[in-house]
Every structure is written in structure tokens, then in C-alpha cells.
């Protein structure tokens, strides 16, 4: 009965009448002032100390934009979260190190300024889809990136990577290259995972979230949302989830049914979407811990 009532409450929250929100776009988060080092903020009207969702778009690390958010801004502001969506510089204009550093720098700006927009700088959830999922998982497990910005994991309440396939990059490269060989297809020579992550086995390991998971360093709880029938993202979510749980970090795995890589992301925030209900429950549970 308790579970039924909780799901009913979540259903009501995801189907309520849209509320007004404040929107501020293209805020620079770096002194470098590169055109892509900007973010947007969506805040509930009259918000004060509201938890913050920090969203990282996908696009293979070489495309995409912070405006690719569909229903998320309205959904999160309706549920009294401040929603931040960030851009970052892209491959191949910059290397992967710079991309992850941009994410950490953007989080630093949010921590320092989000109270001005009604958010709580000590209750931040980091989320992302596809390439953004890899970036979210890495910045929430490899403490070096936030430390470089003078921050720690203590400001994070949770991490939600959505349908990523690169939490264990060496494993993904091996699977992809074996698949090419078995099917007699050419190996990528320019924009494959091997190239994007530096074409160096040590870098492939270093950019993998599974490498940095340790017990007792303050890694926040994870919700790993993935397409059940997508072999690669399913396997990668299971891999990271297992590593997190073994280290004593709570990892909730949610397998999306009857969906695909784009749809699982696009539908987040829609009334009645089961993955949205799971997400909202995860957020509420994390806020009470």
C-alpha cells in the first residue's frame, strides 16, 4: 500500500498543470568566454534553496547543444528543482581532458552562483544522456576534476547517467572492434571511441568511471537508466552498477522497456513515463539521505 501511494504521488507530480518558470540563457561560466562555455538556468517562480539538476547533453562529444532538453525544464521546475543545462567545447576542437574540465568548471559556476537563482549549491544532481552520461559518471567518480575547481563530492546529492556506453571504455572499444571484425566492417579511423579518448590505452582507462570508484571518498548515489534491449548500454550500466555497489555506493539500475536510445531521453518529464517516475523517486530518496 505504501508503494502504491508513493507511485500515485509521483504520478500526480508528473501530470500537474505547468507552472511558470524563470529562464536565463547563455550565461558564461568561464573567463575564457568561448562561445560554447555557457549555460541556461530554469528556475521555479520564487524558488529558495531548491535542489538543482545539472544536465549534460549528448552528441558523441562532437555535437549536441544545451537546448536538447525536451520536457525536462518544465518537469523539474514544476517539481521545485532548479534546472541547469550546460554546453561544453567539442571534439576534435579540444581533447577529452578539456571537455571534462569544462563540465567541472560549469559545476563550479553553478555552485558559486545558483543561490542567486533560487537553488541550493549543496544539493546538486548531475545528469546526462549518451556522451553526457559518460561525462556525468566521470565527474561524479573521479574526484580530480571537481578538486581542480576547489570543490568536492559533498555538494552532490546524486548522479543519473542516461543510456551511456562508455563507463568502461576499454571494454566498449573491444566489443565494438570485435563486432567490426566479425562482420568484416572497417574499423573507425577518425571518430571511433579509440580516437576520441586519445588513442592511448592508459587514457582509455583513465576516462572510464569504473576506474575511479573507491569506497569512502564520498561518491554520491547513482541511478543508471538504460535501454533494456540495447546490448552495449545495458552491459555498461550493469558493469558500473556492480563496481559502485561493491564499493558501498548505492546504485539503482533502471532498465527502460519498449524504448530506444533517443526516446528514453526525450520522454523524461512526460506524464505517465515510467522512467520519469523512477527518476523522481530516486531524487526524493537521495534528498532524504
User: Residues 246-279, buried b or exposed e (16+ Cβ, 10 A)?
Assistant: eeebbbbbbbbeebebeebbbbbbeeebebbbbb
**Confidence at residue 7, expressed as pLDDT on a 0 to 100 scale:** 40
- φ, ψ dihedrals at 126, nearest 5°: -100, 125
Instruction: State how far the alpha carbon of 179 is from the alpha carbons of 173, 176, 191, 195, 235, in Å.
Output: 10, 5, 16, 17, 15
**Confidence at residue 212, expressed as pLDDT on a 0 to 100 scale:** 98
Q: Which three cell numbers stand for residue 193?
A: 571511441
**Confidence at residue 148, expressed as pLDDT on a 0 to 100 scale:** 98
Q: Which three cell numbers stand for residue 24?
A: 536565463
User: In terms of C-beta density within 10 A (0-12 exposed, 13-18 middle, 19 or more buried), how is residue 289 classed?
Assistant: exposed
**Confidence at residue 65, expressed as pLDDT on a 0 to 100 scale:** 98
**Confidence at residue 5, expressed as pLDDT on a 0 to 100 scale:** 35
Calpha distance 193→199 (Å, rounded): 8
Calpha distance 215→89 (Å, rounded): 32
**Confidence at residue 33, expressed as pLDDT on a 0 to 100 scale:** 77
**Confidence at residue 10, expressed as pLDDT on a 0 to 100 scale:** 39
Structural domains present in the chain: 2-168+208-288 (3.40.50.1820)
**Confidence at residue 9, expressed as pLDDT on a 0 to 100 scale:** 38
**Confidence at residue 12, expressed as pLDDT on a 0 to 100 scale:** 36
Q: What pLDDT digit, counting tens, does each position of 273-284 carry?
A: 999 999 999 999
Q: How many CB atoms lie within 10 A of CB 46?
A: 9
**Confidence at residue 17, expressed as pLDDT on a 0 to 100 scale:** 60
Report residues of the chain scoring pLDDT below 50. Answer: 1-16
- Listed residue (233, 218, 226) closest to 265, CA to CA: 226
- Listed residue (52, 215, 219) closest to 125, CA to CA: 52
- Listed residue (119, 125, 129, 210) closest to 159, CA to CA: 125
Amino acid at each position: 500500500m505504501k508503494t502504491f501511494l508513493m507511485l500515485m504521488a509521483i504520478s500526480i507530480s508528473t501530470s500537474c498543470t505547468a507552472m511558470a518558470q524563470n529562464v536565463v540563457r547563455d550565461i558564461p561560466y568561464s573567463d575564457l568566454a568561448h562561445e560554447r562555455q555557457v549555460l541556461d538556468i530554469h528556475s521555479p517562480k520564487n524558488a529558495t534553496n531548491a535542489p538543482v539538476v545539472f544536465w549534460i547533453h549528448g552528441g558523441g562529444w562532437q555535437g549536441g547543444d544545451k537546448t536538447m532538453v525536451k520536457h525536462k525544464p518544465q518537469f523539474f521546475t514544476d517539481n521545485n528543482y532548479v534546472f541547469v543545462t550546460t554546453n561544453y567545447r567539442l571534439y576534435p576542437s579540444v581533447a577529452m581532458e578539456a571537455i571534462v574540465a569544462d563540465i567541472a568548471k560549469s559545476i563550479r559556476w553553478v555552485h558559486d552562483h545558483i543561490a542567486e537563482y533560487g537553488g541550493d549549491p549543496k544539493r546538486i544532481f548531475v545528469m546526462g544522456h549518451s556522451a553526457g552520461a559518460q561525462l556525468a559518471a566521470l565527474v561524479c567518480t573521479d574526484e580530480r576534476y571537481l578538486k581542480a575547481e576547489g570543490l568536492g563530492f559533498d555538494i552532490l546529492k546524486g548522479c543519473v547517467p542516461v543510456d551511456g556506453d562508455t563507463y568502461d571504455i576499454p571494454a566498449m572499444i573491444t566489443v565494438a572492434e570485435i563486432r567490426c571484425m566479425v562482420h568484416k566492417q572497417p574499423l573507425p579511423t577518425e571518430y571511433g571511441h579509440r580516437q576520441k579518448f586519445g588513442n592511448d590505452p592508459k587514457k582509455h582507462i583513465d576516462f572510464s568511471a569504473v576506474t575511479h570508484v573507491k569506497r569512502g571518498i564520498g561518491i554520491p548515489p547513482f541511478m543508471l537508466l538504460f535501454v533494456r534491449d540495447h546490448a552495449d548500454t545495458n552491459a555498461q550500466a550493469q558493469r558500473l552498477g556492480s563496481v559502485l555497489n561493491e564499493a558501498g555506493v548505492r546504485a539503482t539500475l533502471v532498465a527502460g522497456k519498449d524504448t530506444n536510445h533517443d526516446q528514453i531521453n526525450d520522454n523524461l518529464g512526460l506524464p505517465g513515463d515510467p522512467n520519469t517516475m523512477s527518476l523522481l523517486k530516486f531524487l526524493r530518496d537521495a534528498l532524504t539521505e
